């Protein structure tokens, strides 16, 4: 597979068209020994329509996607594929427009919409798919009867032969089989591959598509069988979100055509696919996984996350709140300062932008009037919180941050050798490097909510840098954070019901009054004095 667009070859003679299936049926009838078997098929007539849609807006695409039994493809299903890329946009259409959507839809499910759809469409072919007829059994008014797999395979193979499509992938297996496999991707903190949960894997043979979703260990298995090799692919999406290759095209991983299991490992490197996998991990956690107290985004339509394999001057942006008509709600950039960003950093950014999505969709009125520092500091917290939890689950939380060792001997008289270490402040994972002199660009991206949750006092760190290492660090520029372990759901409640840091301070003080253990227990240490000290740098 290449990292570019899918490259199509010649249009194929469609073996599943009603006319070609009838020819195959007639050809088999010449063998009188097969007459009784063929009679079980009933009449060769339309079971499905092969339809091409042209949505003119995101709203029309959303309508198409709301039909969950209409499996949409951005590329035609009756063309030779020369190169399996990660996206496709019909070259006859402008780059700024949505591309065609192709689907094979059961006739009785599409008939009610014929002539009544506002979305432009064209029926490209009437199809007869005997496997589908056999699966569903005899349907009233169709004339189809349940058929044995042997007869179906005989008819399909004859049509494949007559249309010149019998050149199937060579495999040691034969007959019915169940596609399966495992999806893994590299992570830079783990320094190894990890399983991807919740990946939607498609298995397609011509116009028949089955789905499977990977489990927590990355394994998937199709619940229905095939008799031929299938085209495996990943659609980077969930029920309430999808990942775009840029603004318009759906992001894919188009795998091989096999009649065996597909075990995919997305290795380390500069590929888009590795970055898609990191965004997938963040989106799947926020929408489907354990958020450790955070509310999921409440979007009524799919959240569209655009990945750009370039330097955008920023790591990411959130657009939904301004109603930008650019086709996406979130943008994430894969290059920073001339270098490709690592999966852990892409994951962190995705959690940040999805934090905005949750804030906006769960508290729209407050979001629209909130200070930018509230909005951005909350997103900082969500990326900190979910990134830490991700690597804690993986068993690599200790590897997420660097650590500084301090020799405290000189602080005692007489000297007593005491050594301690602290997490080293950074701008990437713990965000404890923020200070009141950081500059306008990052001034609003404060760690206030992180400070309520973590157990690190960054001012103390910089005091030790001066007293033990002689480094001029200006500790007074940094928050004096002697509080810890406030639950994430409490912090979220403050944010979703406030518009300023002053309101949040008031909400925190009230919360502590209602929960005095936060004040009285040294583990939390939310005394009035410590709350005031914490907010000195923020108000």
Closest listed residue to residue 429, CA positions, set 184, 187, 189, 186: 189
368 in any annotated domain: no
Q: Is residue 377 part of a domain?
A: no
Sheet bearing 120-127, strands edge to edge: 101-106, 48-54, 120-127
Domain final residue pick, 130, 162, 194? 162
Number of domain units in the chain: 3
**Position 326 in a domain:** yes
Residues 305 and 355 in one domain: yes
Q: How far apart are CA 418 and CA 409, in angstroms?
A: 5
User: Are 154 and 194 in a shared domain?
Assistant: no
- Domain end call among 100, 131, 162: 162
What's the rounded Cα separation, in Å, for the pair 515 and 461? 29
Question: Is the distance from CB of 312 to CB of 341 less than 8 angstroms?
Answer: no
Q: What is the pLDDT of residues 117-149, one digit of tens each?
A: 899 999 999 999 987 655 444 343 344 444 456
Does residue 70 sit in the same domain as residue 87? yes
67 and 203 both lie in a single domain? no
Residues 178 and 158 in one domain: no
Do residue 464 and residue 407 come from a single domain?
yes
User: Does residue 461 fall inside a structural domain?
Assistant: yes
In terms of residue numbers, what domain contains 527? Answer: 394-535
Two tokens, residue 294: 């955070």
Is residue 198 within 8 A of residue 185, CB to CB? The reply is no
pLDDT of 252 > 50? The answer is: yes
- Side-chain half-sphere of 309: how many Cα atoms within 13 Å? 15
Q: Confirm whether 388 is domain-assigned.
A: no
The per-residue pLDDT for range 175-190, each reduced to its tens digit, is 789 999 999 999 999 9
Per DSSP, helices labelled H in 266-315 are: 272-288
Q: Mean pLDDT over all residues of the chain?
A: 91
Mean pLDDT along residues 61-80: 92
CB 292 within 8 A of CB 385: yes
In this structure, the answer to whether residues 66 and 149 fall within a common structural domain is yes
Q: pLDDT grade, residue 168 (50/70/90)? A: low
Of 312, 338, 362, which marks where a domain is finished?
362
CA distance 282 to 278: 7
Asked whether residue 1 is domain-assigned, the answer is: no
Co-location of 44 and 158 in the same domain: yes
Looking at residue 286, its pLDDT comes to 98
**CA-based nearest residue to 314, from 441, 400, 144, 227:** 441
Q: What is the model's pTM? A: 0.90
Question: Residue 381 falls within a domain, yes or no?
Answer: no
Asked whether the CA dihedral 15, 16, 20, 26 is positive or negative, the reply is positive
User: Coil, strand, or helix at residue 341?
Assistant: coil
408 in the same domain as 327: no
Do 354 and 215 share a structural domain?
A: yes
Same domain as 529, residue 405: yes
215 three-state secondary structure:
coil
- Shared-domain flag, residues 481 and 498: yes
């Amino acid at each position: 597979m290449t990292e570019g667009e899918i490259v199509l070859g010649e249009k194929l003679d469609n073996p599943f068209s009603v006319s070609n299936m009838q020819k195959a049926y007639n050809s088999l009838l010449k063998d009188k020994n097969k007459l009784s078997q063929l009679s079980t098929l009933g009449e060769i007539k339309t079971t499905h329509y092969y339809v091409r849609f042209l949505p003119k807006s995101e709203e029309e695409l959303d309508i198409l996607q709301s039909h969950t039994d209409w499996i949409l493809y951005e590329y035609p299903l009756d063309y030779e594929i020369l190169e399996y890329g990660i996206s496709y946009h019909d070259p006859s259409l402008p780059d700024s427009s949505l591309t065609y959507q192709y689907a094979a839809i059961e006739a009785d499910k599409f008939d009610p919409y014929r002539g009544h759809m506002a979305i432009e469409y064209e029926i490209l072919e009437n199809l007869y798919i005997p496997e589908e007829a056999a699966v569903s059994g005899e349907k009233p008014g169709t004339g189809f009867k349940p058929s044995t797999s042997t007869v179906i395979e005989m008819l399909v193979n004859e049509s494949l032969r007559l249309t010149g499509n019998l050149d199937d992938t060579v495999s040691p297996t034969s007959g019915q089989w169940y596609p399966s496999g495992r999806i893994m991707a590299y992570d830079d903190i783990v320094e190894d591959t990890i399983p991807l949960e919740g990946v939607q894997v498609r298995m397609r043979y011509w116009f028949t598509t089955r789905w499977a979703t990977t489990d927590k260990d990355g394994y998937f298995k199709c619940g229905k069988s095939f008799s031929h090799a299938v085209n495996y692919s990943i659609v980077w999406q969930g029920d309430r979100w999808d990942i775009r290759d840029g603004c318009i095209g759906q992001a894919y991983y188009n795998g091989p055509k096999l009649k065996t299991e597909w075990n995919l490992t997305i290795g380390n490197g500069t590929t888009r696919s590795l970055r898609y996998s990191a965004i997938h991990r963040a989106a799947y956690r926020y929408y489907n996984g354990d958020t450790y107290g955070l509310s999921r985004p409440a979007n009524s339509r799919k959240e569209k996350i655009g990945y750009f394999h370039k330097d955008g001057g920023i790591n990411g942006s959130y657009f939904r709140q301004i109603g930008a008509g650019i086709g996406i709600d979130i943008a994430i950039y894969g290059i920073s300062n001339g270098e490709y960003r690592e999966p852990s950093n892409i994951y962190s950014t995705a959690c940040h932008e999805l934090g905005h999505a949750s804030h906006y969709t769960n508290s729209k009125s407050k979001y629209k009037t909130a200070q930018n520092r509230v909005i951005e500091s909350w997103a900082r917290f969500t990326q900190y919180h979910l990134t830490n939890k991700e690597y804690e689950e993986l068993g690599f939380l200790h590897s997420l941050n660097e650590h500084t060792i301090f020799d405290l001997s000189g602080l005692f008289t007489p000297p007593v050798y005491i050594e301690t270490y602290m997490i080293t402040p950074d701008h990437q994972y713990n965000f404890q490097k923020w200070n009141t002199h950081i500059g306008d660009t990052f001034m609003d991206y404060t760690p206030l909510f992180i400070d309520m949750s973590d157990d690190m006092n960054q001012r103390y760190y910089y005091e030790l840098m001066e007293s033990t290492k002689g480094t001029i660090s200006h500790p007074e520029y940094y928050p004096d954070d002697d509080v810890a372990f406030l639950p994430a759901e409490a912090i979220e409640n403050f944010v979703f019901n406030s518009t300023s840091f002053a309101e949040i301070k008031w909400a925190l003080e009230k919360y502590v009054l209602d929960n005095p253990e936060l004040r009285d227990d040294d583990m939390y240490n939310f005394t009035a004095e410590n709350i005031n000290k914490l907010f000195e740098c923020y108000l």
